[in-house]
Amino acid sequence: MNTVTLNETNINIFKSAYQDDDNYTLIIESGKPIGLFTSFSNEIFNNGLVECLVIKAYKKGDISLGQLAKQLKLSLTETIYFLGNMNIPVVYYDLEDDLITIEKWNNEISV
């Protein structure tokens, strides 16, 4: 996820565009929408935008499955089921289980 650092030049543009929680500003470059400026208290965040952003971050590998579950306020199992319903591949493994399996293999080969 990218963020924009406001400076003296562009902060006045955002301040003049933002008046209250119900307003938002669509940022356009060469006639194409490239961003949205709104308050975190805006109701749009309660209608799935946050979920959409964290799922996209998970798909890109920017956040882990555990972080996704925390942001979605779901258990790990519920999150895996949720992603499965959305046809989003889930790879989940427990490192401890893998280490135990590798140790067993090492013991079998040594014998």
Which pLDDT belongs to residue 39?
67
Task: Quote the CA–CA distance of 28 and 46 in Å, as a whole number.
Answer: 24
pLDDT in tens, 81-106: 999 998 998 876 667 777 888 888 88
Residue appearing with tokens 């989003």:
88
Three-class SS of residue 53? helix
pTM over 0.95: no
pLDDT in tens, 4-24: 565 666 655 555 555 555 566
Mean pLDDT of 36-56: 75
